[in-house]
Structure 1
């Protein structure tokens, strides 16, 4: 059972995490691009809104902090608070976003509530599901990593070790909308003749109550009550594991969580099935070339054809479970959980080499050889470990972020809006791959393994793995540039939140490539 009784209070931990996340954003997106970051050992100093800040750091690109950040006031260093930093950011960026301070505060409040709830909650016995529920503090480079709209969310929060039965609806056949392989949903429970089973997230139904009243009253939908088993939410909040059918189900909440409104748009429902069909032969080749490569297909979706709002709002995407794709004796664990909750391996260099070998080459080859942009950030990759805890498999998931490179796939038979949502141009696709793989993922895992020590030896090993793969492909230009130390693209989460733009519109800022000192 999780217990924080002997440690800092939930409010204190939430304040520290909120401050650290926003300060990292300032280093990367505000002060850094303006040349206002410099090192004065043992500190990193930066200037925001003409105010000098300092903090001790380690972890290289992951930018982990030691001790409390400070600001200089009348020649004396004072403890920095998250609220003060918010004010400095607002001044620096022109004060044009009246929502920003509230979003940072809401994120901090959510962390406090989650940490308090975990004190008396029991994590799942399943090690995979337990790892899914470890991301209490959220994205380390996001200004409001746990911000979420709407109320009533805590009872459904994975970070609070929630579990709950799904609701089961019946959809009359004349208004049934579905594609792909959906038969597994019919195993969730008996439904009357003329209807098909449609699982629903309880929070989703609360949010759609007004729109559901009419179809429930006239019989186009029927409420069949609660499911027979407790479903377990995974790290993405709206995707749950349903043990009754051994599937993950991705629901449509239509709630903003961090950057994105989390819903299954109609074109994303169709796109998941289309991508699953196209990616099967790709992953067969990747698995043959890189043993241990796995993926979680999304073979079907089901909803109700009751107008766009309910088509999207009730839409559920079926996804394979990780246990169903791992070979016997292999335990899947969320990569993001390793970076925040697990003890570093006893033989860190050997473990790291195996980890990079499992994760990096198939991601790069998907892009270079197949024109497929995977999104291998820490929440989209599960690492399969053997009985000794050694990485032996990498499981890639979430087709919403997976794209096809324009010009390398025939999409002539795909509806225009669906095709648009499925594609990146070549440059944008490469930036996404490199950001997710190098900056979001490997940098965080390297910092976890190294602790307060340097990460140089780990990056030397990663460079060897990447160079070995590059040699098998004739050292294509993108890989040559990467190995030569070209700056890496880092997603600008603060900038996109400040501009209140869609996540797909997020830009990048250049950050130092840890392979540069090795070339």
Structure 2
């Protein structure tokens, strides 16, 4: 078997080249060709034209599209005169870059490097990926996203040399031991519940009186090693390096957040590296903002009969260096053992290179698959819409932020949402005057922007991909699934935004390709219109 190819149990093989090409074409079609009406089916193929570059491409098409997603399949080809020739992933990257430069009038010298870095990282991940070390389905689901985001041009790009990040890559099924620092009480920075770190610290080494334990990601500790303030504090004994912990941490799909099964807690570490879109550090206002949201939101999610995983406290240091305060800041997050059934990361159910969905008995027939989808939508849709429409809470329910809890047959019985960094409040609906202005600003979205984010994450990123994955098992079911889903939205049709969705207005699809090309911060990402599968069929 080639080193850049992997067969995941009974799932299909993935090559770094094919996965990279698929992601590039998904982005190109969604953000450029489809909005400009430059894409059309041709039998078992989909044809896409780059109108400014004057190039025509062709891909395999597993089935006709329903809504904003396509099921593309190799071979990927370029039209030359009267025939078709293979188009490699790097050729496609160059063609996409050329079309975007012509469309925007601006070059981006970083783009091809980012795509190449993502391809190189994916090759390394496939080579390093090990067999499962246990049968924990939840942990396996967190570490299942080998190819990553299907609609991002460089889904596996991550800053740094491969040897720096590979030991901490969830896709390789990595484990690591967090580092311990002993920090004087008067140098500790913390907010939230005073005893939140007690259970985690009980697994640490003995701590001298007047000090507290601070867990640190070893990759981040290495990244901060040249910081002169840290070097001085360690040399003088102000901070004491107690070495690796006795307990293992499991990197989850976000890379920087790790699950510690022995304690049943997540540590959301800072990482001063760019992963896909953003540098993954815990900014000071995000540390404080998480605690503020954790105090405001739990009663509302009780009313919604749903779970938002709590983030009860953070801990860092107060030395006079913001980079250290943010870089050593760690947020605790509630674990999963109190959730009903077996939690599974939603993204694992949509990944085409594993068999999580196919292995669930509840999806064995078309009839049972419809019942499964209905149960899934019942757990996911009402709390997301209710949170926004009734309470002014903007959840970010994309595939990596939702855990779906399943019974022994795989039937969804509960959903848990996570990541208070991505959770926002609708401006004007909440009194945040008690917070520093920078914190309050980071916690709010304008109403229209918040709605776009909710609809993109819930419908385009999440439910569309789940429906397509179910249709991979039962190919003629996809349109029926969306008609079944209408009732979960119709409950809220007294809101004009929901009436518009049910009428079939285009959905806002986040423009990851254009955002990367413009080098815009992810918070400022734009959207492109995408077909809405909720639309009721029009009468003839």
Q: Shorter-chain TM-score category?
A: over 0.9
1:105 pairs, out of 96, 104, 116, with 116
| Aligned pairs (5 A) from 1:162-311 | 162-181=174-193, 182-184=196-198, 185-189=200-204, 190-211=206-227, 212-287=230-305, 293-306=306-319, 307-311=321-325
C-alpha separation in 1, matches of 2:295 and 2:489: 29
Offset of residue 5 of structure 1: 9.5
1:376 corresponds to which residue? 397
2:7 corresponds to which residue? 4
2:139 pairs, out of 115, 118, 129, with 129
Q: Helix, strand or coil for the counterpart of 1:310?
A: helix
1:43 corresponds to which residue? 45
1:448 corresponds to which residue? 469
1:459 corresponds to which residue? 482
C-alpha separation in 2, matches of 1:355 and 1:248: 25
2:336 corresponds to which residue? 322
Offset of residue 6 of structure 1: 10
Offset from partner CA, 1:292-336 (integer Å, 9 cap, x none): x22201010000112200000000000001223x13xx1100000
Asked if residue 88 in structure 1 is aligned to residue 92 in structure 2, the reply is no
Q: Decide whether the 8 Å contact of 1:172 with 1:219 is kept in 2.
A: no
Runs of 4+ in 1 over 3 A off after TM superposition: 2-10
Change over 3 Å in CA distance of 1:517–1:82 after alignment to 2 = farther
2:150 corresponds to which residue? 140
C-alpha separation in 1, matches of 2:448 and 2:170: 35
1:17 corresponds to which residue? 19
Q: Helix, strand or coil for the counterpart of 2:76?
A: strand
C-alpha separation in 2, matches of 1:259 and 1:466: 31
2:343 corresponds to which residue? 332
Change over 3 Å in CA distance of 1:7–1:339 after alignment to 2 = closer
Change over 3 Å in CA distance of 1:5–1:125 after alignment to 2 = closer
Asked if residue 158 in structure 1 is aligned to residue 173 in structure 2, the reply is no
1:116 pairs, out of 112, 117, 127, with 127
Change over 3 Å in CA distance of 1:308–1:68 after alignment to 2 = same
Offset from partner CA, 1:491-510 (integer Å, 9 cap, x none): 00011111111110101000
Offset of residue 8 of structure 1: 12
C-alpha separation in 2, matches of 1:478 and 1:5: 41
C-alpha separation in 2, matches of 1:421 and 1:518: 41
Which runs of 5 or more structure 1 residues have no equivalent in the other structure? Answer: 288-292
Offset of residue 64 of structure 1: 1.4
2:514 corresponds to which residue? 495
Q: Decide whether the 8 Å contact of 1:187 with 1:245 is kept in 2.
A: no
Q: Helix, strand or coil for the counterpart of 2:480?
A: helix
Structure 1 stretch 258-267 or stretch 180-189: which is displaced more? 180-189
Change over 3 Å in CA distance of 1:382–1:492 after alignment to 2 = same
1:385 pairs, out of 406, 412, 428, with 406
C-alpha separation in 1, matches of 2:9 and 2:76: 24
Which runs of 5 or more structure 2 residues have no equivalent in the other structure? Answer: none
Q: Decide whether the 8 Å contact of 1:246 with 1:321 is kept in 2.
A: yes
Change over 3 Å in CA distance of 1:5–1:28 after alignment to 2 = closer
C-alpha separation in 1, matches of 2:412 and 2:236: 54
C-alpha separation in 1, matches of 2:294 and 2:434: 16
C-alpha separation in 2, matches of 1:336 and 1:170: 37
1:30 pairs, out of 29, 32, 35, with 32
2:443 pairs, out of 417, 422, 425, with 422
Offset of residue 183 of structure 1: 3.3
Asked if residue 54 in structure 1 is aligned to residue 75 in structure 2, the reply is no
Offset of residue 518 of structure 1: 3.3
Offset from partner CA, 1:184-224 (integer Å, 9 cap, x none): 34323221112110001110101000112111112221111
C-alpha separation in 2, matches of 1:517 and 1:52: 33
C-alpha separation in 1, matches of 2:432 and 2:115: 41
Q: Decide whether the 8 Å contact of 1:158 with 1:234 is kept in 2.
A: yes
Offset from partner CA, 1:397-424 (integer Å, 9 cap, x none): 0011000000000011110110111000
Offset of residue 517 of structure 1: 4.4
Q: Decide whether the 8 Å contact of 1:339 with 1:444 is kept in 2.
A: yes
C-alpha separation in 2, matches of 1:6 and 1:294: 32
C-alpha separation in 1, matches of 2:423 and 2:8: 41
C-alpha separation in 2, matches of 1:177 and 1:124: 37
Offset of residue 81 of structure 1: 1.2
C-alpha separation in 1, matches of 2:133 and 2:9: 19
Change over 3 Å in CA distance of 1:390–1:428 after alignment to 2 = same
2:492 pairs, out of 430, 451, 470, with 470
Offset of residue 394 of structure 1: 0.4
Offset from partner CA, 1:80-129 (integer Å, 9 cap, x none): 111111111221122611111111111111111111112x4434432111
Structure 1 stretch 509-518 or stretch 435-444: which is displaced more? 509-518
Q: Decide whether the 8 Å contact of 2:397 with 2:457 is kept in 1.
A: yes
C-alpha separation in 2, matches of 1:225 and 1:477: 57
Q: Helix, strand or coil for the counterpart of 1:210?
A: coil
Instruction: Tell me the number of residue pairs that the alignment of Structure 1 and Structure 2 aligns.
Output: 504
